[in-house]
Amino acid sequence: MDNLHPQPQQKDKRKTTLIIVVLLAICIVCFLGLIALGSLGYLTYSQMPESVNQSNKTNSTNSTSVSNSTNSTNTTKNEAPKAEIKKTFVGTHLTATIPEDWNIVEYSNSSGMNQFVDNGSTFSGLTGIEVLDENNNIVFDLGGIDGIGGGSGCSTLAQFNDTELSYIQNIKEETELYGDEPTKVIDLTKEVYTEINTLNLRLRRVGNKMYVAKNFSQSFNTSCGIEEQFVKLDELKFTIKDGADTYSANAYKFEINESVLLESTLIKLDEVLLSLKAKSAS
């Protein structure tokens, strides 16, 4: 009876061994399967059509190109504007540097005069000028004056931040002395202006209005009253022949066309006036 027991134990060992062998086989099969799948994926990618890979490269390139294009656009916007082309105007009486598409017209007859008595007089010399823009619109004109009248007081007086207070007071007292209405002071102390020295004149432009100083002193004491209506130019003149009488004058009135409002146009005019020279002075 004792010899019969080892037989079942031997069977149990065989079963355990068989199970282990089966499990090992399953693991080996799974491992081989993973290797096969990996190899298949590699072969699939390596054999992918070249056009697909090229498409991906193209997309990447396009993305970079768009970025570069944007930067290029920004650079273009930040570029300084091109310098304006200018030309030299040489007239009979004046020279100036003007924009290429602008012009200056000189007059030596009554058409250039701003104010005169029309009694059949004839004129010669520089009676006036017109500064024209690219559309032949008058931007600035200067015209001769023959025959001036007016009171000595000042109804208005422009005050800049460097206008002497004593000068303003003297103008007020003088106006009161002549029995005129009190002088109205126009406050320009906080206004932005452009100073222009031309033809021996000291000018300041505020918007499209010009002001002239009485002299070249440190202060800007603005001309007013009858002195505001005209300037005398030592380097320019015109001649009037009235019957048997012939005489010369150098009084002119100047002004910016009130319809000129663009600051860019006014800045161009500033540069023209700064360059304006009488040929007799050169």
pLDDT digit string (tens) for 161-170? 999 999 999 9
HEC secondary structure over 129-160:
EEEECCCCCEEEEEEEECCCCCCCCCCEEEEC
pLDDT at 14: 57
Pairwise pLDDT comparison (76 vs 178), residue with the higher score: 178
Domain extents for the chain?
A: 14-57, 86-281
- Mean pLDDT, the chain, as a whole number? 81
pLDDT at 65: 30
Tens-digit pLDDT profile for residues 132-155: 999 999 999 999 999 766 667 899
pLDDT > 70? residue 118: yes
**Per-range mean pLDDT, top range of 34-38, 48-52, 270-274:** 270-274
Distance CA 96, CA 198 (A): 11
pLDDT > 90? residue 33: no
CB 129 within 8 Å of CB 92? no
pLDDT > 60? residue 89: yes
Q: Report, as an integer, the average pLDDT of 274-278.
A: 97
CB 127 within 8 Å of CB 144? yes
CB 242 within 8 Å of CB 119? yes
pLDDT > 80? residue 265: yes
pLDDT at 36: 58
CA atoms within 13 A on the CB side of 124: 6
pLDDT > 50? residue 62: no
Q: Report, as an integer, the average pLDDT of 242-265.
A: 95
pLDDT at 58: 40
pLDDT at 69: 33
pLDDT > 90? residue 35: no
